[in-house]
Chains A and B, each alone.
Chain A
Amino acid sequence: MRVAAPVGDLSTQAADAPVSAVRRFLLARGSSRWADRVFSGLMLLCALAIFAIVALIAAELLSQSQPSWHAFGLSFFYHYNVDPVTHLPLFWDPVNGVFYALPFIYGTLVTSLVALCIAVPLAVGLAVFLTEMCPRWLRSPLSFFTELLAAIPSVVYGLWAIFVLIPLLRDNINPFFIAIFQQPTLVRLFAWTHLFGDDGLFGGVNLGLGLLGAGVILAIMILPIIAALTREVMSAVPNSQREAALALGATRWEMIRIAVLRNARIGIVGSVILGLGRALGETMAVAMVIGNSPEIHLSLLSMGHSMASVIANEFTEATSDMHRSALIEVGLALFLVTILVNACARLLVWAVTRGATARVQ
């Protein structure tokens, strides 16, 4: 049988070699080159859309914050006035037209850092437990509840913090840390760190509300994100890697360290970055517990403010153009801080993985 030979039939004995139905079907299918092109085009479009969105946001923030930028320039980010009555630094006083953003940047960074310090070890521990040692029956309920944490709206976290977390911190947890950080011997020994004593990390009035409370609530909120992603990358480590380590005489913990955590480290850092992104931008829960006072104190017990929460709190009430514009500039700062933090994290990943092959095959 002579088939309507598609272009370039491979058969050397072209004329009389039998061509199977399957082969005929495949030969008739064409190169699908255009489909591949359309596909890559669409993917490129998605990628470009990201750039376009980022550029549009940046442009809008820049143009809207012009008045404040002209009035304060770079000093917006570090300057402050001195209160004529109390002689304390005065950063933000909309009524009198004082707009300096440092306390918000400080509050955002400190609360996010506190959140990371608490959430990362917990999340990695949880992920290790889930992938490496959890009995089968416990695995799904535990994963389920972890993921449930991620689904709770942040206002609910805020309410829970006000009614449960803040009193708990104030009455049970903070006194413990205050006792340590104000213990006379320790204060004397560690005076050089400036972290101990009445103006240290746990000095001042213990209200419950404040930077620590906000950090703890953020930690709980980012825990499920980091844990879920970390679990994913850990379970993607092939079993042959675990076996390789175990066969060398590694204990379970050593195996986890050299075969699992090591192979998954890039993914873990990636999930931490995502968690950090959420912590930096989280608004509602933080606004409800941070105390909303634009001040800077070393003490974690002190009240503070964050970039996202000041915008949420004041934007609707901002009557003067300068106030509005200053808030938008805070938004711009938040945008930049987020980008900067992400860039640093990427740099870290790059530094860690330089020279080493990143992937396990």
Chain B
Amino acid sequence: MGVAIEVKALNAWYGATHTLQDIELHIPANHATALIGPSGCGKSTFVRCLNRMHETNPIARVTGSVKIGDLDIYNDISPVEIRRRVGMVFQRPNPFPTMSIYDNVCSGLKLNGYRNRRELDEIVERSLRSAALWDEVRDDLKKKSGASLSGGQQQRMCIARALAVDPEVLLMDEPASALDPVSTSKIEDLIFQLKSQYTIVIVTHNMQQAARVAEKTGFFLNGRLVEFDSTHKIFTNPTDKRTEDYITGRFG
């Protein structure tokens, strides 16, 4: 089951560039939350702060607090532990090319020392089913490399890989932006189904996508969270003029 995320006074830097400024936000548990905004406004940086991936960049720095469930992830827990609880799907599918589909999906469990063959089989099947990929790959699970799938299949495999560790939060950074419409709609259906069990944060450029899958939407601009509200409100009656300009495409 998912948990809520509470972000307080979050600031992030790349070197001297102040990329995120004073972000305050409550992301509800077991719902999908969309983050929209123009390129370079800091959406990726923000989601990377939620599983402490931001600090893997040597020039990066973060201040503020992020609570996932009851835990302050920057104080109570190590980055490794938090990343075991928070799954992430990247913009470009990043399968491990030397591993089979099966090994790709259970890589998170195997690297943690989960060895029970029978259970692994079950988890792989369940994750691939959740990711709507099972029927397409069931026959060459262990024969084909993860990189031999199509882009859309690879991305769904990466989602299955993230689901296999049964995360409490799933971060998705433009998971469909490199995919065709069919794969995109499959992934949207997927998010729709997963969001009752996981807390999902999805970054997207596609406003219809945000409207379709998310209950809540946040609008970022120049490193600030301009507005955060129910998706319906953001798209029909935004409070901030800048949000309205962006939604209606009147943005510079």
Contacts and interface: CB of A to CB of B under 8 A. Distances in A.
A18 B112 contact: no
Contacts of B114: 22, 25
B109 interface: yes
Interface in A189-241: none
B1 A17 contact: yes
Contacts of A26: 84-85, 112, 165-166
User: Secondary structure of the A side of the interface?
Assistant: loop
Contacts of B77: 8, 31
A18 B168 CA distance: 12
A18 B1 contact: yes
**Most B-side CB within 10 Å, residue of A9, A22, A29, A31:** A22
Interface string A5-19: 000111111000110
Interface in B105-162: 109, 112-114, 119, 123
Contacts of B69: 9-12
A18 B164 CA distance: 16
Interface residues of A, number: 20
A10 B84 contact: no
A185 interface: no
User: Secondary structure of the B side of the interface?
Assistant: loop
B70 interface: yes
B59 interface: no
A33 B1 CA distance: 26
A22 B29 contact: no
Contacts of A25: 112, 114
B113 A33 contact: no
Contacts of A21: 119
29 contacts: A8-B71, A8-B76, A10-B3, A10-B70, A10-B71, A10-B85, A10-B168, A11-B1, A11-B3, A12-B4, A12-B29, A17-B1, A20-B166, A21-B119, A22-B109, A22-B164, A25-B112, A26-B85, A26-B165, A26-B166, A29-B84, A29-B112, A30-B81, A31-B77, A31-B78, A31-B81, A32-B78, A33-B78, A33-B80
Given A10-B168, A31-B81, 14 more contacts: A8-B71, A10-B68, A10-B69, A10-B70, A11-B3, A12-B70, A18-B1, A22-B109, A22-B164, A23-B166, A23-B168, A25-B112, A26-B165, A36-B80
Q: Which 6 A-B pairs have the closest CB atoms?
A: A10-B69, A31-B78, A22-B166, A10-B3, A23-B166, A17-B1
